[in-house]
Structure 1
Amino acid sequence: MSTEAPVTPFAALPGAVGAPPQHYGAPLREQKALAAGEAIVDLSDRAVLALTGDDRLSWLDSLTSQSIARLQPGESAETLLLDPTGRLEHAIRLLDDGVTTWLLVDAPQADALRAWLDRMRFMLRVEIADRSSEYATIGSLGSFDEIAAAPNGVPLVWVDPWRAVVRGGHQYAAEAGHPSADWSYREIVVARETLAELTRLPAAGTLALEALRIAAWRPRLVTEADDRTIPHELDWLRSAVHLSKGCYRGQETVAKVHNLGHPPRRLVMLHLDGSEGVLPAHGDAVLDGEREVGAITSAALHYELGPIALAVIKRSVDPAATLVVHAAEATMAAAQETIVPTDAGAEANVPRLPRLGAVHR
C-alpha cells in the first residue's frame, strides 16, 4: 500500500473517491449544495497558463475566435483556437489582470497549446509560461471570490459567459427555457499552496459539477468535441465566437456555415430511461431505429432530472424521435431535448440563384 501523500489535499477528506475527488460519498447531496452556491469543487488537475507582454491581448485576439483585444482587468472571456478548416483544437477560458492574461485549460490541452502559441510569437512582445505548479483552479456556482489569488492586485476569478449570449455571438437554441439562466459557474484561481487550507470549505465532487454542466447544455472540449467538431454543432457561438471581428484561423468556415450552410451534426440533451440503473459512457452509440446516428459525449445522474446525457447526433435526425442508447451494460430509451435545431445556420438568407440555362416564365 502506497504511503505517498494525495495529489491534492481534497483527496484526503473523508469519503473522497479519486484525485481530484469525483465525490465524497453523497453525489446527489453534493450536487444540491453546489447548485445552491454553497460548495466548491477541486479542479486542481487543470492547467493555468500565463501570457505577459504589451502585445498579449491583441496577439491572442488575432489568433482565436473571440474579440478580446480590449479585455479590461477583471473581465472574463472564452475563446476557441480552430484549425484552418474551422475545426476545434483548443477551448480557452481567460481573464486579464492588467499585467497578465491567464488562460485556464484542461490539462490534456496545456502542452500542445503552449507549444503552438510559442511558435506563433514571432517578434511580438509576449511571453508564455505554465504556472500550474504555482496556481490551481477551484470551481463554484457561488461567491467564494475571497479565496482568489491576486498577484497583480486583481482577484483571479473567471466568470463563465455561458449564462447569456455575448456581444458578437449567436445562439441557435431556442431562447425560451434555456437552462443557462441558472448557470452561475465560475473558476477561481488560487495559490496552490493554499489548497490544504481550502479543505475547510464545503466541497462537492467533479461528478456534481458534471451533472449541473450537462443540465445547463454547457459544452466542454474534452468531452463534447472530436477531431471533426465545428463550434456551430455545440452552440458554442453564443459564448466563444465573435461573428464580426477581424480575421483569425478558421474564420472562413465559421462564417460560411453560419451564413450559408448548416452544421452537419447537432448537440442534444437526452433524458434517459433509468430503469436499468446504469449510465452510458463517453462514445456509446446513439441509434434511431436500427441506424446509428451519433454518440454520447457526457452522462450523469442529476438530482432533479434523473439520468441525463449530452450527445452529438446527425443533423437530419427527427427531433421528435425517441432514440436508443447502446451502453456496455444495457440498452436504454432516450428522449431528445433540442439544443442545436435541425435548421441551425443559413442566417444570411441569401436567395437561391437560378441555374444556368433555366427557362424563366
Structure 2
Amino acid sequence: MTSPFLSLPGAVGSPVAQHYGAPVAEQRALDAGDAAVDLSHRGIITVAGPDRLSWLNSMTSQQLLGLAPGVSTETLLLDPNGRIEHAIRVVDDGERAWLLVDEGSAEPLAAFLNRMRFALRVEVADVSADFAAVLAFAGGTALAALRALGPVVEWADPWAEVTRGGTQYANGEHAGAEWSAVQLVFPTERLGAVARAVAPAGLMALDALEIRAWRPSRVADVDERAIPHEFDWLRSAVHLTKGCYRGQETVAKVHNLGHPPRRLVMLHLDGSEGELPVAGALVFREGEASDPEARPVGRITRAALHHEWGGIAFALLKRSVPADVTLAVRAGAEAADPQAPVEGVIAAAQEMIVPTDAGATRTIPKLKRL
C-alpha cells in the first residue's frame, strides 16, 4: 500500500516521506508537538494468548511479567552472544501484546517467534499490512488531533527516564530527559484521515530530534557487532536483575566486569561548508583524516541538521578514544570506503553519551596466594 502521506504537497521520498519541502520548519513543528511523522513503513506484530507476556519475557531483555494494559516499554532480542538483533517497542492492550519494530524487522521477528512457540498458548501475527503507526510529541496540537481519531493502541517512548531495573551510563543531565514521543497505531484504511488531520513532518526531522536526544535506533545505528551497552540502551530496554534470557550472560559480564568495546557519542559538526557526512563515514583523530594511511577510530551512523544546534551526528567510536580528543570526519559520497580518495574533511567535537569507563561496576577481590 502506498502511504496517503505521500500524496501530500511537497512529499519527497519512499516508502514514506523524508521531508515535505521544508525539513527545518517541519522539525520545529514536530519538536513543538504540532506535526506528526508517518511510520507506516515500519512493522507491527501482535502476540495473543494467556502465555504471551511470560513467553516474551523469557526471550528478551526487559521485564515484561505483570506488564499492565496500556503501559509502554521496550525490549531487545539479542543473539546468544549478546548482540542486538531486534529492538521491540511493547504495549499490551489486555488481550494481545503489540510489538512495534523498525522497517525490515517484522517478517524475521515473526518467523523467529513462531519457531519458539512450542506448546505455549500464544498466537503470533504479522499485522504490518493492516495497521500503521504515526509518531507525534507531547506539548502541541498533534497528539490531541490524532487521539480524536481513535487509535487502536498507543506506545509512549520510555526514553526520558531510566526504567526500573535499568541503569544509565551517561553522566549528568540526560539530553533525552524531555523526550515525549508517542506512536499511535491506526488501521491502514484510516491512514488517509490521519494524514489530513495533522501537519506532516518527514523522517529527516525525526532523525535530527533523535540524535539531539541521544535516542538510538535499531535500523539506523546498530550493526552486526552492536551490544546494548554501547548505546546506553540499558537505561530503557534492559532489566539487569530479571533472570535468564538469550544473550543475558554478555549483558551481565560487560556491565559488571568489563567495558563495552565501542561507545556512542554525539558529534557537533563544523558547519562552515554546510555538508553532512554520509552514514558509515569514517571518523579519525584531528589531523589524520586526510592521510590515506591513517586508521579510523570510528564511523558515523547517521547525521542531521538540527534546527537549533546545526550539524550533528551519531558516531560509534573505539572505547580507547579519549573523551577530550577533537575528531574529523571524511566527507563525500565514498567516505565510508577506506580506500577511496579523500574528498574533504569535517571537523567534529564530541559530546559524551557513553563514557570511556562505562561498565565494570563490580570488583572481584583478589585471593591471597598460598
Please tell me whether the aligned partners of residues 148 and 157 of structure 1 are also in contact (alpha carbons under 8 angstroms). Answer: no
Aligned to 1:71: 67
Match of 2:95 among 70, 93, 99: 99
Aligned to 1:16: 11
SS in 2 for 1:101: strand
Deviation of 1:76 after TM superposition, in Å, equals 0.5
Aligned to 2:157: 160
1:351 aligns with 2:353: no
TM-score scaled by structure 2?
0.91
Match of 1:88 among 63, 84, 87: 84
Distance in structure 2 (CA, Å) of the matches to 1:137 and 1:85: 31
1:318 aligns with 2:322: yes
Q: Which runs of 5+ in 2 are unaligned?
A: 289-293, 333-342
Alignment of structure 1 residues 226-305 onto 2, 5 Å: 226-288=223-285, 289=288, 290-305=294-309
Deviation of 1:259 after TM superposition, in Å, equals 0.4
Aligned to 2:151: 149
Please tell me whether the aligned partners of residues 49 and 102 of structure 1 are also in contact (alpha carbons under 8 angstroms). Answer: yes
Deviation of 1:186 after TM superposition, in Å, equals 1.2
Output the amino acid matched with 1:294: G
SS in 1 for 2:148: helix
Instruction: Tell me: CA distance 1:265–1:138, structure 2 relative to 1, closer, same or farther (3 Å).
Output: same
Q: Which runs of 5+ in 1 are unaligned?
A: 1-5, 151-155
Distance in structure 1 (CA, Å) of the matches to 2:260 and 2:367: 22
Deviation of 1:188 after TM superposition, in Å, equals 0.7
Please tell me whether the aligned partners of residues 23 and 208 of structure 1 are also in contact (alpha carbons under 8 angstroms). Answer: yes
Distance in structure 1 (CA, Å) of the matches to 2:301 and 2:17: 21
SS in 2 for 1:199: helix
1:340 aligns with 2:354: yes
38-47 vs 281-290, which deviates more?
281-290
Please tell me whether the aligned partners of residues 162 and 239 of structure 1 are also in contact (alpha carbons under 8 angstroms). Answer: yes
How many residues align? The count is: 345
Output the amino acid matched with 2:148: E
RMSD: 1.3
236-245 vs 15-24, which deviates more?
15-24
Aligned to 2:177: 181
Output the amino acid matched with 2:295: R
323-332 vs 293-302, which deviates more?
323-332
Match of 2:57 among 47, 53, 61: 61
Deviation of 1:195 after TM superposition, in Å, equals 1.0
CA displacement, residues 184-212 of structure 1 (integer Å, 9 cap, x when unaligned): 11111011111111122111111001100
Deviation of 1:350 after TM superposition, in Å, equals 2.9
Match of 2:220 among 187, 206, 223: 223
- Sequence identity, in percent? 58
Instruction: Tell me: CA distance 1:267–1:78, structure 2 relative to 1, closer, same or farther (3 Å).
Output: same
SS in 2 for 1:177: coil
Instruction: Tell me: CA distance 1:353–1:24, structure 2 relative to 1, closer, same or farther (3 Å).
Output: farther
24-33 vs 283-292, which deviates more?
283-292
Tell me which stretches of 4 or more aligned residues in structure 1 moved more than 6 Å. none
Instruction: Tell me: CA distance 1:240–1:304, structure 2 relative to 1, closer, same or farther (3 Å).
Output: same
Deviation of 1:148 after TM superposition, in Å, equals 4.3
Aligned to 1:3: none
TM-score scaled by structure 1?
0.93
Distance in structure 2 (CA, Å) of the matches to 1:353 and 1:79: 38
SS in 2 for 1:280: coil
Please tell me whether the aligned partners of residues 106 and 128 of structure 2 are also in contact (alpha carbons under 8 angstroms). Answer: no
Output the amino acid matched with 1:52: A
Deviation of 1:42 after TM superposition, in Å, equals 0.6
CA displacement, residues 163-222 of structure 1 (integer Å, 9 cap, x when unaligned): 100000000001x23111121111110111111111221111110011000000000111
1:119 aligns with 2:115: yes
